[in-house]
Amino acid sequence: MPEDDFLVESNGSVVGTLFESRYRGDPPTRLIAQAPRFAVLADLAPLCAGHVLIVPRRYYPSLGALPPEGWDELEQLLTRVADAVSHAFRDPLIFEHGSSSYPQHSPCVSHAHLHVIPAEVDLAPDLRRRGFEPKSIASLRELSDLAARDCAYVCWGSARGSVQVAEVEAGGGIPRQYLRRELAAVLGSEEWDWGVPAMPDLLRTTVRELSPRLDADPTLPSGAEAPGPVIAIDGPAGAGKTTSGVWLARRLGLPLIESGYLFRGVAAAPDGLDSLSRVDIDVRVPPGDEWRPSLRVGDCLVEEVRAPAIEERLAPLVKQPQVRSAIAQRVTELSERNGGVVLGRRTATESCPTAPARVLMTADEEVRLRRRSQADVQEVADRRYGDRLRAREPILEGEELTYTMKLDTTEMSIGEVREALWRHVQERLAS
């Protein structure tokens, strides 16, 4: 769904998106700029060159539903985007169809997105004919009043001047993609439906013209200033956390932080735990089906993370409380710095207890062993000590309350696990 794609693309990934299937790497992304809370994307089916969207990097049904701390950033970003569009094309119009909890009044894409397009149109006369009563508002911030009443709306106006808004519930309804239809008519185009591939060169021109203007703008907030969300996934070997975690990290464009590799980094270093601050892993998940992170201790690349010498030192390390505590702290530092999908044992209870999504994945022991045997017989043997350790450390009373989801994957396919996990993560990031 497009609202899923907004979450994926605003965080720097395109995997599994409609954009990826439609444009096939040309261009590799439609992401033009990032700010801590927002991203600027070229419209998937631009009505004209220069047509972009400002999209929150977390789910909100409308701009009116933004938290108070988001408005200053949005206004600053909109000013910079409008300047870039104006310099490259012409002064832009802005418009939004904001959602409510009533589907019949809401747009077909429920994730908030503000259109910025180099065009001009006055929708008021047509809306009045349809039974609406447009009114002027001093700024987009006043949309918060409509969202507080769970009211869908359409708004449009100048990026630098007055804005008009109409409550959708107050009239007799509006057609699907109404704002896009009206703009297309003004522009003399019959191509208004974003779901229909048309004129891909418009998107390419938009990306080519606006990316350097916004990337080079020193006043634009940097996306690196704010970490992404943290999703913590706990569970024993074979429950599916690594397979699902790699997929989720790739889907959201987030780092993948696996505590097991930090243990191996300590085991590989001559000075053991003293080296932990110098242990680093390649946490970005590239496209493709396979992912094996590179492990470094300082400037030294660890070529064989499962070498016998490392395995020999690893088993006693994980039993040492001071080592486990230090690893948990290191995981916390990495996740707070970058955000990410965090995998390991007790990551939700020890390393990331405040993560928005904290998932405990489980499966019957026989199923877990069969899965691991199918994937890597040696890895099953490598992890037996971990499973024995976990068996001696049952979940404590009240600890289950730490998790936002418990997922038993015993009878679930990979696709079903991913679907359940994705749905839960969406709900948690929106709450």
- Residues 135 and 155 grouped into a single domain: yes
Instruction: Give the confidence band of 225 by pLDDT, cuts at 50, 70, 90.
Output: very low
- Residues 159 and 236 grouped into a single domain: no
CA pair distance 99, 139, nearest whole angstrom: 18
Q: Does the structure show a pLDDT above 60 at 107? A: no
What is the average per-residue pLDDT within 104-129?
Answer: 78
pLDDT given at position 304: 59
Which of 141, 152, 140 lies closest to 178 in space, CA to CA?
152
What is the average per-residue pLDDT within 183-198?
Answer: 77
Last residue of a domain, one of 180, 208, 224: 224
- Residues 198 and 263 grouped into a single domain: no
Task: Check the CA dihedral 223-227-229-232 and report its sign.
Answer: positive
- Residues 95 and 201 grouped into a single domain: yes
The CATH number that applies at residue 276 is: 3.40.50.300
CA pair distance 58, 65, nearest whole angstrom: 11
- CA angle 351–356–358, rounded 5-degree value: 55
- Residues 184 and 110 grouped into a single domain: yes
Q: Look up tokens 């259109």; give the residue.
A: 115
pLDDT given at position 47: 87
88-109 in b/e form (b: 16+ CB < 10 A) is bbeebbbbbbbbbeeeebbbeb
> If you ran DSSP here, which 8-state letter would residue 141 be given?
G
CA distances from 207 to 42, 56, 197 (A): 6, 19, 17
- Residues 243 and 117 grouped into a single domain: no
The CATH number that applies at residue 6 is: 3.30.428.10
pLDDT given at position 357: 93
Give DSSP secondary structure letters for 166-201: EEGGGTT---TTHHHHHHHHHTT-S---TTS---HH
**Amino acid letter at 204?**
R
CA pair distance 128, 295, nearest whole angstrom: 63
CA pair distance 389, 394, nearest whole angstrom: 9
Are 112 and 55 in contact by the 8 Å Cβ rule? The answer is yes
Task: Check the CA dihedral 319-324-326-327 and report its sign.
Answer: positive
Last residue of a domain, one of 224, 243, 261: 224
- Residues 251 and 140 grouped into a single domain: no
Which of 40, 55, 53 lies closest to 7 in space, CA to CA?
55
- Residues 395 and 373 grouped into a single domain: yes
Q: Report phi then psi at 411, rounded to 5.
A: -110, 20
What is the average per-residue pLDDT within 83-105?
Answer: 84
Are 180 and 44 in contact by the 8 Å Cβ rule? The answer is no
- Residues 299 and 424 grouped into a single domain: yes
Q: Which two tokens stand for residue 245?
A: 């975690």
Among 40-44, 241-245, 359-363, 369-373, whose mean pLDDT is lowest?
A: 369-373
CA pair distance 191, 150, nearest whole angstrom: 31
Are 85 and 79 in contact by the 8 Å Cβ rule? The answer is no
- Residues 59 and 203 grouped into a single domain: yes
- Residues 255 and 219 grouped into a single domain: no
**Alpha-helical segments (H) within 89-218:** 124-129, 143-148, 178-186, 200-215
Are 5 and 240 in contact by the 8 Å Cβ rule? The answer is no
Mean pLDDT of the chain: 79
CA distances from 321 to 273, 325, 329, 397, 414 (A): 12, 6, 12, 20, 34
Nearest-Å Rg of the Cα atoms of the chain is: 25
- Residues 264 and 343 grouped into a single domain: yes
Q: Which two tokens stand for residue 291?
A: 């992912």
What range defines the domain where residue 12 resides?
2-224
Total tally of structural domains belonging to the chain: 2
Q: Does the structure show a pLDDT above 50 at 414? A: yes
pLDDT given at position 53: 96
pLDDT given at position 226: 55
Number of Cβ within 10 Å of residue 171's Cβ equals 17
Whether pTM exceeds 0.75: no
pLDDT 10s digits, 138-187: 899 999 998 888 888 888 888 887 899 988 864 456 777 878 888 888 77
